[in-house]
Amino acid sequence: MENRVKEITNEMHEVLNGKTISLDMKPYDLNDLSYVIKKNLELVCEAMKKNVGDEGSTSNVPQSTPSTTMTSMMPSSIIDPPLYASVPSPMTPQMNPS
């Protein structure tokens, strides 16, 4: 079971990096992929809620990086090497202060 989760988690990372889903993928594979994506999204949401709750309204609080927050919340069975692969940083849009 744990190997299957790792296998599907790797598949999820490949899809997120642009790999197309194979047409010969079986419905149970798609179901497993959907499960892993949903679990990872839940972990991200939990980390975001915790991060918002920990920061409060103080602007001097150091910002934690999402990867640090997410990996501290995730069970080790879900974390795999592709999470640590170098990925270009996303650009954060600047908001107009008005």
Residue 43 lies in a domain: yes
DSSP 16: H
* Span 22-62, pLDDT tens digits: 888 889 888 999 999 999 999 999 999 988 877 654 555 55
Residue 87 lies in a domain: no
* Span 58-84, pLDDT tens digits: 555 555 555 444 445 555 544 444 444
- The total domain count for the chain is 1
Residue 15 lies in a domain: yes
Residue 67 lies in a domain: yes
Residue 83 lies in a domain: no
87 has a pLDDT exceeding 70: no
Residue 30 lies in a domain: yes
Domain that holds residue 70: 2-77
Q: What HEC string does 74-87 produce? A: CCCCCCCHHHHCCC
pTM summary value? 0.48
